Amino acid sequence: MAYVKLTTLRKIVFSLAGVALMLFAGISFYRIRHLKEPVVLGQGVTQVKKLSDYFKGIKGTINDSYVYMLEGEEAGGTVLVIGGTHPEEPAARLAAWIFTENALLEQGKLLVILSANRSATTVTRLGGAYPPDYTIETPWGGQKFRMGDRWSNPLDQWPDPEVYIHYPSRQELAYIDIRNLNRTWPGRPNGTLTEKTCFAIIQLIKEENVDIAIDLHEAELQYPVISTIVAHQNGQDLAAMASMMISGMEGFDIGMENSPEALHGLSHREIGDHTDAISLLLEAPEPMLDATRGRTDRALLLEGKDEFIVKAGKHGLLFEKMDENGWPIDKRVGRHCSTILQIIELWSEEHQEKALIIKNVPRYKEIIAKGTGAFLHNPATAASNRIKYE
Amino acid sequence: MIISILYYLLTGYIALLIIWNLVKSKKWQEEILYIIILMPFLLRLFRLK
């Protein structure tokens, strides 16, 4: 009798310890999924739409993301900047954030998406021990952002198939990439959440007559497609010229690569194939994504310093330089801002009737000098009707 | 959508099996193991992870 009671008591104690552990983890997961990221609409933002304005099938889902529209008084071209395709590549979202909060359009139209795959911003890599969030220091305090993952949250799209067959090419891709927004272009209206999201953005590109779509990313240093502009064949000249101009004028080097014609599902291939827009994808270096990294914490995410990756570089395993100074977030955000501006300036020189004139966006050197946070605005002092939450 | 619901039902069923094994277990090492492996099932059922 005493033995039975002891066993029962032991099970209760173990179960309570398990519940405590689960609560501890569960509260953390819940908080990060529901963390609100404020966006202070800059003077240049004239309208805020949602992806469901272009495709009703995404209405009410977590991926019905905002589309920030900045319009100049003079008609011109239209450029779409896509941030948050892979939220675990934070420089992409932060660069898009800077455009939304600061850019002033004199001519043309700029469309910005900060969370292209909003579902993927609400989870971190399973088993990856990633930090759930990170904070960018600003003159008015810190602004917290969700860390995010490369793939849509399984809470929003589950289960994965054994094999992912891309639509419409029928190319076989890794099973997990059915939740990867940069493997599901051009999407379809009756597909998975991730496919529907791509379909909605494709509809946006068509309806808004987008001339150039720029998808922002970061890459590990052990991946050959890094520090580069990947261009669909319809944008090769523009990308090559931008690469030359940036390397000469902006203070950093960036290459240019052709989008492989047989590799499907990626924005630089499918947007160009399925719409009239020029499709470009930008890659900046992010050491935290490297497999040989050390501790995966907020410092690595923001400072980009890691002795193990430095060592990998000494063994010739990297496709980008890496030293003790690392790749801080300001450098990565600055690269994206300058590259976007250079692309738009070169486009505008060649297409006067479809030009865009953008002011008040910092470039690479200014962002390094002042920090990314200097260009984020304080939601506490902004009018409530000029704040959105991602 | 239907497949997703079926997977949630399957997850609930397996969670119940693990709880049943926990109740029936006589070894403390197995009890700890059952509690650990139960967590991801419950986190998914409660839509937390």
Nearest residue on chain A to B30, alpha-carbon basis: A11
User: Between B32, B43, B44, which is nearest A14 by CB?
Assistant: B32
Chain A residues in contact with B14 (beta carbon < 8 A): none
Same domain? A46 vs A29: no
Q: Are B43 and A26 in contact (CB under 8 A)?
A: yes
Q: Which residues of A156-188 are buried (b: 16+ CB within 10 A; e: fewer)?
A: bbbebeeebebbebeeebeeebbbbbbbbbbbe
Chain B residues in contact with A159 (beta carbon < 8 A): 3-4, 7
Same domain? A29 vs A113: no
A123 and chain B: CB distance < 8 Å anywhere? Answer: yes
pLDDT value of residue A3: 67
B2 and chain A: CB distance < 8 Å anywhere? Answer: no
pLDDT value of residue A5: 83
Tell me the count of A-B CB pairs closer than 8 A: 45
DSSP A169: T
Chain A residues in contact with B33 (beta carbon < 8 A): none
Q: What are phi and psi of A228, to 5 degrees?
A: -150, 165
Contact A158 B31 (CB under 8 A): no
Chain B residues in contact with A126 (beta carbon < 8 A): 49
Instruction: Please return the burial class of B19, using the count of CB atoms within 10 Å of its CB with bins 0-12, 13-18 and 19+.
Output: middle
Q: Are strands A74-82 and A212-219 parallel, antiparallel or unpaired?
A: parallel
A30 and chain B: CB distance < 8 Å anywhere? Answer: yes
Assign residue A364 the CATH number of its domain.
3.40.630.10
Q: How far apart are CA A164 and CA A184, in angstroms?
A: 10
Same domain? A106 vs A7: no
Q: Are strands A66-71 and A45-50 parallel, antiparallel or unpaired?
A: antiparallel
Contact A159 B4 (CB under 8 A): yes
| Chain-centroid distance, C-alpha A121 | 9
Contact B31 A17 (CB under 8 A): no
Same domain? A56 vs A18: no
Same domain? A4 vs A65: no
Total number of domains constituting chain A: 2
B22 and chain A: CB distance < 8 Å anywhere? Answer: yes
Q: How far is A59 from chain B (nearest CA, A)?
A: 16
pLDDT value of residue A130: 92
Q: How far apart are CA A297 and CA A290, in angstroms?
A: 13
Which residue do the tokens 């909003």 mark?
A118
Same domain? A44 vs A22: no
pLDDT in tens, B12-21: 999 999 999 9
Q: How far is A134 from chain B (nearest CA, A)?
A: 19
B48 and chain A: CB distance < 8 Å anywhere? Answer: yes
pTM higher than the cut 0.90: yes
Same domain? A19 vs A160: no
Q: How far is B7 from chain A (nearest CA, A)?
A: 7
Tens of each residue's pLDDT in chain A, 390 residues: 566 688 899 999 999 999 999 999 999 999 999 999 999 999 999 999 999 999 999 999 999 999 999 999 999 999 999 999 999 999 999 999 999 999 999 999 999 999 999 999 999 988 888 999 999 999 999 999 999 999 999 999 999 999 999 999 999 999 999 999 999 999 999 999 999 999 999 999 999 999 999 999 999 999 999 999 999 999 999 999 999 999 899 999 999 999 999 999 999 999 999 999 999 999 999 999 999 999 999 999 999 999 999 999 999 999 999 999 999 999 999 999 999 999 999 999 999 999 999 999 999 999 999 999 999 999 999 999 999 999
Same domain? A214 vs A187: yes
Which two structure tokens, joined as six digits, stand for A102? 């600061």
* Residue numbers of A between 188 and 207 with CB closer than 8 Å to B: none
CA distances from A330 to A29, A336, A364 (A): 28, 10, 8
Tell me which residue range forms the domain holding A235: 40-389
Same domain? A138 vs A193: yes
